[in-house]
Amino acid sequence: MKVDSENIFAVAEYCLHSGDVESILASTQHARVLFENGRLDFVDKTAPRSVDETQFPERPLLVSPRQMPQRSLNTELGVQAFFHAVAHIEFVAIYLAWDLLYRFRGLPLQFYQDWVSVAIEEAEHFTMIREHLVAMGVDYGDYPAHKSLWTVAVDTADDLLMRLAFVPRYLEARGLDVTPPMIKKFNHLGDATSAAILQRILDDEVRHVELGSYWFKYVCRERGLNFEESYLQFIKERFSGPAKGGVLNKELRYKAGFSSVELAGLEHWADD
Ligand SMILES: [Fe+2]
Ligand SMILES: [Fe+2]
């Protein structure tokens, strides 16, 4: 099944409410073909449905992060569980990109073009990881997954600025810190395939975060806010630390539009 419309908001609405992995992938691919051929219709005709109506597939079972088993990457099961967790992150990332453009209306055309391109890339990431899982004898849905990513989307459904601060500029930005050490680890373990997949994703994610920075600054300007102060204030009110282990990948974060003031604020999280 796939959506029967050439309108971006209709495609987004379908993807957010079908609850079926294959239909979401087919519909995102449909949007890609339309977009690449200049046939995707960006006319806004209908209001978005409530975020609470969003449908996720029956599998994987969603549990709290504390219920997720911790496994070592030195075992086959550990590598499977790791990539299942990555597949889930990418799957939710498809929803996050669609929801961002679906929920927030009245922005410049470029906003919708940017985020549909992200939805398309997240679907590519998910498909790549899923194929990697299948090659290991596992499919998406075979393990439980955690539900915390989507919680942030629900909590920021009424505020674009918070959504941009928390999703691309906090959650996705953490990926820029934690992925390079994982790539190193897989190379060290002699698993070049896993390392190459993560590298490809990392290259794309820099641009996703960069788009988050661009639009965060755009909305700050519109509202007459200082973007650095606003960013640090918002995320320190909501989260307990900048990244697992607290080590920031400054090089990638600069590329992704973070300023030195923001990075210093993240590094000295607890100081003020
Ligand atoms: Fe991704
Ligand atoms: Fe992303």
Question: 2 C-alpha vs ligand 2 centroid, how far in Å?
Answer: 23
Q: Are 136 and 76 in contact (CB under 8 A)?
A: yes
Question: 224 C-alpha vs ligand 1 centroid, how far in Å?
Answer: 31
Residue 69 has pLDDT above 60, yes or no: yes
Q: Give the pLDDT confidence score for residue 243 in this predicted structure.
A: 61
Question: 83 C-alpha vs ligand 1 centroid, how far in Å?
Answer: 13
Q: How far from 30 is each of 12, 18, 27, 177, CA to CA, in Å?
A: 11, 15, 5, 33
pLDDT digits (tens, 9 = 90+) for 124-176: 999 999 999 999 999 999 999 988 889 999 999 999 999 999 999 999 999 99
DSSP states of the chain: -----SBHHHHHHHHHH---HHHHHHHHHHHHHHHHTT--B----SPPPPGGG----S-SPEE-GGGSPP--TTSHHHHHHHHHHHHHHHHHHHHHHHHHHHH--S--HHHHHHHHHHHHHHHHHHHHHHHHHHHTT--TTSS-EE-HHHHHHHHTTT-HHHHHHHIIIIIIHHHHHHHHHHHHHHHHTT-HHHHHHHHHHHHHHHHHHHHHHHHHHHHHHHHT--HHHHHHHHHHHH-S-SSGGG---HHHHHHTT--HHHHHHHHTGGG-
Residue 225 has pLDDT above 60, yes or no: yes
Using the CB atoms, write b or e for 123-140: b if 16+ within 10 Å: bbbbbbbbebbeeeebeb
Question: 214 C-alpha vs ligand 2 centroid, how far in Å?
Answer: 15
- Reported as a pLDDT band with limits 50, 70 and 90, residue 245 is low
Question: 176 C-alpha vs ligand 2 centroid, how far in Å?
Answer: 10
Question: 25 C-alpha vs ligand 2 centroid, how far in Å?
Answer: 16
Question: 115 C-alpha vs ligand 1 centroid, how far in Å?
Answer: 12
> Distance (Å, rounded) from C-alpha 116 to C-alpha 106?
15
Give the predicted TM-score (pTM) of the model: 0.96
